Chains A and B, each alone.
Chain A
Amino acid sequence: MTEILTVLSKKKFINILPKLNRRHSTLLRVTFSSLILLCIIAASMLLSNDRIATNFDLKNLPPSMAHPFGTDWLGRDMFTRTIKGLSLSIYIGIIASLSSVIIALILGMGAATLGKAFDTFVTWLVDLFLGMPHLVALILIAFTVGGGAKGVIIGVACTHWTSLTRVIRAEVLQLRSAEFVQISRQMGKKPLWIAIHHILPHLVPQFFIGFVLLFPHAILHEASITFLGFGLSPHKPAIGVILSESMKYLSTGMWWLAFFPGLLLFVTVRAFDSIGENLRLLFDPHNAHE
């Protein structure tokens, strides 16, 4: 009897945990990752600037309850700086990857619909940009524009549209030969009308996933060129700035200056990556049924 009971309760216990299929777990992961990012943005708005004012009484403190990430050499709270830095990075990332994706969309669709000459030009342009190490191009662009957030955004936007352009071009080429497009053309619709009504809707998944997957790139590049000194002004609470200045203090044993911001940057980038990957699984017709 008791045996039966335990077996039953075990079964019941198992039943409490919902049996997740692939779709459910994917959704769950997306929600969780988005929550982390939302928390960072919300926290950056809630935390007051007073916590990152200089306070020499509190300088160089290791992590504690009052200062979970410790404080730096000016007595600024590292937790506040990190969160504010990350959200600044997130804003920059959104603008940079969005403009990058839009460039890719325009060029990709143009290449596939505007005729042979334009296609050759776009393919050449893609090859040109792919042939160049993009960190170098990024540094050059950021330096020419004069540094700052503007430089980073323009730099990332100008260097990261290439692979997505290829994907979109291939997709459009395929769509162009699809029957519904052929029929539409036979019925006398203009190319622009076809592009907007028949081709563009099919590109939404590519657009969206491309955007999300570019995001971690943009943040990491913002961090790296700021780290190298070509990006944001060094007193801004940006994650690249925080990491680069922490290098100076590592040999004095202030590990918390680099560890927590680095960890949080990793978590953020990983969260975006996981959103992108999982969205692809949901949207992409080739994977959606799995």
Chain B
Amino acid sequence: MFKKMKILSIILSFAFITLLFFGCSQGDTRFNDTRDKGDELILAVGSEPDQGFDPTSGWGRYGSPLFQSTILKRNSNMEIVNDLATQYSISNDGIVWTVELRKDVKFSDGNPLTAADVVFTYETASKSGSVVDLSVLESVEAIDDYTVKFNLKKPQSTFINILVNTGIVPRHAYDNNYSQNPIGSGPFKFVQWDKGQQLIVEANPKYYGKEPFFKKITFLYLSEEAAFAAAKAGRVDVASIVPAYANQEILGMRLETIQSVDNRGIMFPFVKAGEKTEDGYPVGNDVTSDAAIRKAINIAIDRNGLVNGILNGYGSPAYTVCDNLPWWNAETVINDSDMDSARKLLKDYGWEETDSDGILKKEGMRAQFRLIYPSSDQTRQSLAIAVADQVKPLGIKIDVEGKSWDDIKMLMHSNAILFGWGSHDPLEMYNLYNSKYRGVGWYNTGYYYNSVVDDYLNKALLATSEDEANEYWKKAQWDGETGFSAKGDAPWAWLVNINHLYLVRENLNTGKQKIQPHGHGWPLTDNIEEWHWN
């Protein structure tokens, strides 16, 4: 009797579970159908900002601030256009920047945005000591309600990017809690933030620009796998995904690949070993300080192979830190995957194989060094392993090792590191290659130094027009004789630019996207006013 009951209960529970699953999938399809017509969106893109949404401490530096608006912005062709400004002018010596503001701008709480708010924003940001680098700013003052004057300590052409990246916060509503509950004049206003789960925003009815089509947007903070699963289940309208998932067809979704300068490359210590940083970390590496090693690796790497093999084709070969941006020098593109030239180069510089262990030697030194990648990042891990395997036939042995970011901080001056950069601000390039930034933070960790490059970089910074600045940025990369690209000193071996991949609902139009920067923010939502259903 009992046995029969048992069997019966098992059968029943199976039936119940099956029904349950069936019910679920039915629910999903219904969910799917109603989603397309509404003015709400659910996105799973990018990561959660730990510090909240305060532009004075770095929010919106990559991508758009969403809640706030900026003085200037870049359009989809990367040209600088007005946002809050009606016009701006720079004095002939490059020291004084004057900005005229629109008069019709209101914060989402109804108060007007005036010059005082701009002054307040920039003063707060320069005091915050955060990633927003305003050390060049001497003072900022309001001339009248809608005119702001910035006085710089010295001319700096990249200051314009600070005007592009810094969202304006309201003076009357700014307090310590601002980053958790932002108020701004941007296209969307803040509704709710459940940390680690979601952010809900609604269209700002007081927005002065084009009214966004979507009235409510929910951002879900999901891991890569969860975002993909959610897209598969039809629960999100846009999901950012990793290349590994890109070949999967999903019903009702299309794959959007967006070009980026989100690059990955190998930083080589440029000087010989021996010194120490102020914190006592070793500096320099005898093997990578040899130009032949760095150049040979640059020539030998099969960048297209890496793009196809590791990024499944969703990327492009990288030659500098700023590929395809207005200040990029196209002459820096080299012929790679060229083992014979690499071998010859090594031989010319005195690297020879003296015994049969397959590793080149020069004056008793073996062509062997450590390449360290952050162990949490699988793309960088794959790149590191693949590069090590690619240069092995040359006789250069790269020992790949995964470390935490804390460990990398200690090792990054004396070992090759797989870093990633890519910004819409050429100041990043300045910081990476200028000798002033040797050993400062994460910049120029290899202690790269070239006086000619320094000179060009400084000239670019001092330039008063963007065109003039770009001219010098390009020369710093390669001027025909020297530069910091692979043709010149090759302190880096740039590998790939990673396309940003999004699964987007088939009939959702996301407008024209610009080249996206390093993916810490939400570059995708930069033009969210343009989004609409087809």
Interface pair A54/B375, CB less than 8 Å apart: no
Interface pair B245/A54, CB less than 8 Å apart: no
Given contacts A229-B376, A233-B401, contact A74 B382 (CB under 8 A): yes
Contact stretch, chosen from A7-15, A21-29, A113-121, A248-256: A248-256
Please, which residues of chain B bring their CB within 8 A of the CB of A229?
375-376
Interface pair A252/B309, CB less than 8 Å apart: no
Interface pair A74/B309, CB less than 8 Å apart: yes
Given contacts A249-B244, A252-B248, contact A234 B375 (CB under 8 A): yes
Interface pair B308/A233, CB less than 8 Å apart: no
Interface pair B378/A245, CB less than 8 Å apart: yes
Q: B interface, by DSSP: helix, strand, loop or mixed?
A: helix
The minimal Cβ–Cβ distance linking B223 to chain A, given in whole angstroms, is 10
Within 8 A of A (CB), among B374-410: 375-376, 378, 381-382, 384-386, 389, 392, 400-404, 407
**A56 contacts the other chain (CB 8 A):** yes
Within 8 A of A (CB), among B241-261: 244-245, 247-248
| CB < 8 Å neighbour of B385 from A235, A247, A252 | A235
Within 8 A of B (CB), among A230-252: 233-235, 245, 247-249, 251-252
CA distance A247 to B223 in the complex (A): 13
Within 8 A of A (CB), among B31-46: none
**B160 contacts the other chain (CB 8 A):** no
Given contacts A53-B389, A234-B381, A245-B378, contact A252 B245 (CB under 8 A): yes
Closest A residue to B376 using CB positions: A229
Within 8 A of A (CB), among B349-377: 375-376
Interface pair B386/A54, CB less than 8 Å apart: yes
The minimal Cβ–Cβ distance linking B125 to chain A, given in whole angstroms, is 35
CA distance A229 to B232 in the complex (A): 28
| CB < 8 Å neighbour of B402 from A54, A235, A249 | A235
**B228 contacts the other chain (CB 8 A):** yes
Closest A residue to B407 using CB positions: A146
Interface pair A54/B309, CB less than 8 Å apart: yes
**B305 contacts the other chain (CB 8 A):** yes
Interface pair B385/A248, CB less than 8 Å apart: no
**B310 contacts the other chain (CB 8 A):** yes
Given contacts A234-B402, A251-B229, contact A74 B310 (CB under 8 A): yes
**A73 contacts the other chain (CB 8 A):** yes
Please, which residues of chain A bring their CB within 8 A of the CB of B384?
235
Interface pair A73/B305, CB less than 8 Å apart: no
The minimal Cβ–Cβ distance linking B224 to chain A, given in whole angstroms, is 7
**B275 contacts the other chain (CB 8 A):** no
Per-position binary interface string of chain A over residues 77-107, scored 1 when its CB falls under 8 Å from any chain B CB and 0 otherwise? 0000000000000000000000000000000
Please, which residues of chain B bring their CB within 8 A of the CB of A56?
305, 308-310, 386
Per-position binary interface string of chain A over residues 52-72, scored 1 when its CB falls under 8 Å from any chain B CB and 0 otherwise? 011010010000000000000
CA distance A147 to B403 in the complex (A): 9
**B225 contacts the other chain (CB 8 A):** yes
Interface pair A248/B382, CB less than 8 Å apart: no
Please, which residues of chain A bring their CB within 8 A of the CB of B404?
147
Residues of B within 8 A of A (CB): 224-225, 228-229, 232, 244-245, 247-248, 305, 308-310, 375-376, 378, 381-382, 384-386, 389, 392, 400-404, 407
Provide a sorted-by-A list of 12 A–B residue pairs whose CB atoms are within 8 angstroms: A54-B385, A54-B389, A56-B309, A73-B244, A74-B382, A146-B407, A233-B403, A234-B378, A235-B385, A245-B378, A248-B224, A251-B229
Residues of A within 8 A of B (CB): 53-54, 56, 59, 73-75, 146-147, 229, 233-235, 245, 247-249, 251-252
Known contacts A53-B389, A74-B385, A233-B402; 5 additional CB pairs below 8 A are A56-B305, A56-B386, A147-B404, A235-B384, A251-B245
